[in-house]
Structure 1
Amino acid sequence: MDDMTLSFERTQSVAIVGGGPGGYEAAIAAAQLGAEVTLVERAGVGGSAVITDVVPSKTLIATADAAVAARSAGDLGVQLFAKGGDGKPLQPEVAINLAAVNRRLLALARQQSDDMRASLVEAGVRIISGHGRLEGDRGVIVSTGPGGTDFDRIEADTLVVSVGASPRELPSAKPDNDRILTWTQLYDMKSIPEHLIVVGSGVTGAEFAGAYMNLGSKVTLISSRDQVLPGEDSDAAAVIERVFKRGGMTLLSKSRADKVENLGDRVVATLSDGRTVEGSHCLMAVGSIPNTAGIGLEEAGIQMTESGHIQVNRVARTSVPNVYAAGDCTTFVPLASVASMQGRTAVFHALGDVVIPLERRRITSNIFTSPEIATIGWQQKDIEDGKIAGVVHKLPLAANPRAKMMGVKDGFVKLIARQGSGSVIGGVIVAPRASELIYPIAIAVERRLTVDQVSRVFAVYPSLAASITDAARAMHVVDHTIYGEA
């Protein structure tokens, strides 16, 4: 027997409904453990995360970042010019071919989906294209024909539901794939919108508002809260808000859009106080709803929330013992990385492999604004609210030598340590590529390292990562007391 394969009295079977990050990882893990695996997916392997959400949106943001880098190169002494007919230099403008950008990002998304499908086939996973619906706790009915005319039935010892979520639609602002759009419909636009109204200042709204601002659109962001990115670190949100305003974005805080209308050549958003905002297009970023309706979950006895999310525990198990769920359709953290880990954890638990239950405080998350915001663990507000005894130390990134060389002015590194022991329990980074820089803090949180242990790690000089070391040194533990500024 191969060392990587668990021995069973008989071959176990696993059926997975939904091929997004959670379903894909569950399928790969189950195949590695020697199970017979069937994956049902209606849109394509990778699900919306790969095809219409994470991969295309972050590719668009990368293009926006490149545009900003080109426009700001003059600050570093790099000047772009062309010679006119009279031989004098002309200052060219950065032009964005949105149609070409969208073709590229959709091609990249499809390629990623194809690569994932090839990996599943190579692992021996049976893939069925169609709509899956649970039949009890061990069966899946798959509609494979047009209009639901052809059916296939799968029996399995373990079921994994990973059906994801879709953009929430409001009756008073119905997306039309023309001028009123969800984030999955943006990629049909042929040119940069003249004036994009973004309704919703959460992660999705903030990311797209910043991206289209950097691509050259006039942007108005309508937020029902008093600050963008509600629920995130307030210092981080303040940095992004400052960057947005400096870039020319109009922020309408404490405002609620009651309705949005497509008037043919423009859109009009009517606010709850009677004010109106006119633009060329409107992006509705008002959350998402799980794709759990009508797939037999309630009939199988699976416990759901009022919002339609599947109740799961820390090993991704539902209220029905042999049914698991992963991803945005569950009550756990809605991140692609979390969905992947849930999928693997579910299969490990079902097939008897070693399982480490998921812990919310050890999950890193990132917001792909410019600069990015990366967080992990306990946050400053938790300390201020008395949930845990800790100390916070924040270092502005502008003081970092590498940041000065790169022309970076916005951002900071914030470390959070437990009072007394000095163990690192959280952190926030606002910086270019914060998604990469958060990793050492994530390791510190996972391995319960103290600030002294982190401070003894050599950081390259000069580097942005050195600010993490500097923050840890500032929190040196003396007589079991942490010294540092909150």
Structure 2
Amino acid sequence: MTFDYDLIVIGAGSGGVRAARVAASHGAKVAIAEEFRVGGTCVIRGCVPKKLYVLASRFRDEFEDAAGFGWRVGDISFDWPALVAAKEKEITRLSNLYAETLANSGVELIRARATLTDPNGVRFSNGGSARAGHILISTGGAPVLAPHIPGIEFGISSNEIFDLPKFPQRLLIVGAGYIAVEFASVFARLGAKVDLAYRADLPLRGFDDDLRARLADALRAAGVEHRAGALPTRVTKCVGGLEVEMSDGAPLTVDCLLVATGRRPMTQNLGLEAAGVALRENGAVAVDEYSRTNVESIYAVGDVTDRINLTPVAIREGQAFADSVFGATPTTINYEHTPSAVFTTPEIGTVGLTEAQALARHGAVDIYETQFRPMRATLSGRAERVYMKLIVDGANERVLGAHIFGPEAGEMAQLVAIALRMGATKGDFDATMAVHPTMAEELVTMRAPARRLGTRTNSA
């Protein structure tokens, strides 16, 4: 059979772009189709603009803390349209850079929506069509609004929050995942009155409970009003903004309602049924360890597969796919010890097992933890505490998890992940020389366990 391309990639996000570039470097003839802007969620409406807004929000603390170090800062004010414009300029630069990199790699960029017609066929919204030996689905995910709540259409998702024409003085955020808490932290520091509504007792389900509790306290200290156990039941547009009826009976009037209750794989209207591609119950593309679907010619990487929905994971999956299929180097991904960060203020950096997971899997664990006032806070007077926690296997002293809450926690988690992946023990941490004075030195100076959990065998 004659094909127009060796590979057609549907979706020019982080995973798709990496796969296209690497496949082309292996000699494949590659096209990538994108109906929106090149760069995907991360570059356009995710981690990049979000981190820019996080950095913007932290200047409030910087101005306040400066006085303790002898600086005298005059009147300050925040210009929301200026931040939005600066963000737009930067993501436009990055998107153009992604497109330029594709072109330099020999990848043809088709600016159109692509749908499958069969296991090797693709139809484009610009009227064209093509056939390829392999097709890669990398369309990512999209926010989900709760359709069962009357008036929820008046709310917005994380896609729209970056470009509001007017800064919301009163903001209700529904959700307790990392997107919800990050925006709660950002907008509270930028000057909004923020209410955070969620179903559970604490935010960030799935993270270590000690981090969850400390984050809840930090958000509260920043002015975020927690509405644990309460959710909207009806939203009505009014002259003053939005009237929101809550399940606890306490009404709210807000300027903006951000719904951050989850995301879904973007598999709708892609023609997957026509090609015979199997989906999981939640709509994600079902793949094997090589990112291959049940159809031999079709693969999928990134959030559309709902494995670990992080940009670096999608990039690694795209690389592994291209090396496996076009580089004659079969490659699978080891998802263990994938680090992650939550860019609240203070931020969270974590890698490995939580305390509950470690105890369930290993039966006996030692918990090392420390909390202290960072040096910066000694002069600024800010009531800020850093918290660090190591979870150690009670049988062999291998470090199973590291959890950090404080400034630059994400940076530290990236480096600790290397040690955990290499199987470092608590003894290895103890034998590592500290860098003083730093916050990170506490990771190698904790000597006595704070708690010993579980039942130990005689050989432990």
Percentage of identical aligned residues: 27
| One-letter amino acid of the structure 1 residue matched with residue 394 of structure 2 | Q
Query: Of the candidates 363, 375, 389, which is equivalent to residue 350 of structure 2?
Result: 375
| One-letter amino acid of the structure 1 residue matched with residue 85 of structure 2 | R
> Would the aligned equivalents of 2:193 and 2:223 in 1 still touch at CA under 8 Å?
yes
- Corresponding residue for residue 33 of structure 2: 40
With normalisation by structure 1, the TM-score equals 0.86
Matched, 1:266 2:235: no
Aligned counterparts of 1:378 and 1:116: Cα–Cα separation in 2: 35
Shift of 1:105: 0.8
Aligned counterparts of 1:330 and 1:301: Cα–Cα separation in 2: 16
| One-letter amino acid of the structure 2 residue matched with residue 95 of structure 1 | S
CA 1:209–1:444 in structure 2 vs 1: closer, same or farther (change >3 Å)? same
Query: Of the candidates 128, 139, 146, which is equivalent to residue 170 of structure 1?
Result: 146
Query: Of the candidates 56, 65, 68, which is equivalent to residue 72 of structure 1?
Result: 65
- Corresponding residue for residue 277 of structure 1: 252
Classify the secondary structure of the residue corresponding to 2:196. Answer: strand
Query: Of the candidates 254, 264, 286, which is equivalent to residue 289 of structure 1?
Result: 264
Shift of 1:402: 7.0
Aligned counterparts of 1:190 and 1:349: Cα–Cα separation in 2: 46
Classify the secondary structure of the residue corresponding to 1:396. Answer: strand
Aligned counterparts of 1:168 and 1:433: Cα–Cα separation in 2: 30
Q: Deviations over 1:289-329 (max 9, x none)?
A: 22111111122222212221111233322222332111111
- Corresponding residue for residue 193 of structure 2: 218
After TM superposition, the structure 1 stretch with the greater mean CA deviation from structure 2, 302-311 or 270-279, is: 270-279
5+ residue gaps, structure 1, are 1-9, 82-91, 145-149, 476-480
> Would the aligned equivalents of 2:358 and 2:391 in 1 still touch at CA under 8 Å?
no
- 1:131-146 aligned at under 5 Å gives the runs 131-144=113-126
Shift of 1:436: 0.7
Matched, 1:235 2:228: no
CA 1:121–1:251 in structure 2 vs 1: closer, same or farther (change >3 Å)? same
Query: Of the candidates 213, 222, 225, which is equivalent to residue 250 of structure 1?
Result: 225
- Corresponding residue for residue 156 of structure 1: 132
- Corresponding residue for residue 160 of structure 2: 185
Q: Deviations over 1:113-137 (max 9, x none)?
A: 1111111111111110111111222
Query: Of the candidates 114, 122, 126, which is equivalent to residue 96 of structure 2?
Result: 114
Aligned counterparts of 2:163 and 2:432: Cα–Cα separation in 1: 48
Q: CA RMSD in A?
A: 2.4
CA 1:130–1:388 in structure 2 vs 1: closer, same or farther (change >3 Å)? farther
Aligned counterparts of 1:343 and 1:425: Cα–Cα separation in 2: 28
Q: Deviations over 1:376-399 (max 9, x none)?
A: 11211112334554322112142x
Matched, 1:302 2:277: yes
Aligned counterparts of 2:290 and 2:434: Cα–Cα separation in 1: 36
Aligned counterparts of 1:401 and 1:313: Cα–Cα separation in 2: 48
Aligned counterparts of 1:119 and 1:371: Cα–Cα separation in 2: 35
| One-letter amino acid of the structure 1 residue matched with residue 104 of structure 2 | E
> Would the aligned equivalents of 1:192 and 1:216 in 2 still touch at CA under 8 Å?
no
> Would the aligned equivalents of 1:183 and 1:284 in 2 still touch at CA under 8 Å?
yes
Q: Deviations over 1:342-385 (max 9, x none)?
A: 11112222225434422332211111101111111121111233
Aligned counterparts of 1:34 and 1:378: Cα–Cα separation in 2: 40
- Corresponding residue for residue 171 of structure 2: 196
> Would the aligned equivalents of 1:410 and 1:431 in 2 still touch at CA under 8 Å?
yes
- Corresponding residue for residue 106 of structure 2: 124
- Corresponding residue for residue 22 of structure 2: 29
CA 1:368–1:14 in structure 2 vs 1: closer, same or farther (change >3 Å)? same
- Corresponding residue for residue 452 of structure 2: none
After TM superposition, the structure 1 stretch with the greater mean CA deviation from structure 2, 185-194 or 48-57, is: 185-194
5+ residue gaps, structure 2, are 450-454
Shift of 1:401: 5.3
Classify the secondary structure of the residue corresponding to 2:167. Answer: coil
CA 1:175–1:123 in structure 2 vs 1: closer, same or farther (change >3 Å)? farther
Q: Deviations over 1:148-177 (max 9, x none)?
A: xx2x2222222110001111123336566x
Aligned counterparts of 1:186 and 1:401: Cα–Cα separation in 2: 34
Shift of 1:192: 2.8
Aligned counterparts of 1:372 and 1:321: Cα–Cα separation in 2: 43
Query: Of the candidates 45, 52, 56, which is equivalent to residue 49 of structure 2?
Result: 56
CA 1:187–1:439 in structure 2 vs 1: closer, same or farther (change >3 Å)? closer
| One-letter amino acid of the structure 2 residue matched with residue 44 of structure 1 | R
- Corresponding residue for residue 317 of structure 1: 292
CA 1:278–1:464 in structure 2 vs 1: closer, same or farther (change >3 Å)? same
Aligned counterparts of 2:389 and 2:48: Cα–Cα separation in 1: 28
| One-letter amino acid of the structure 1 residue matched with residue 155 of structure 2 | I
Shift of 1:34: 1.6
Greater RCO structure (CA 8 Å; 6+ sep)? 2
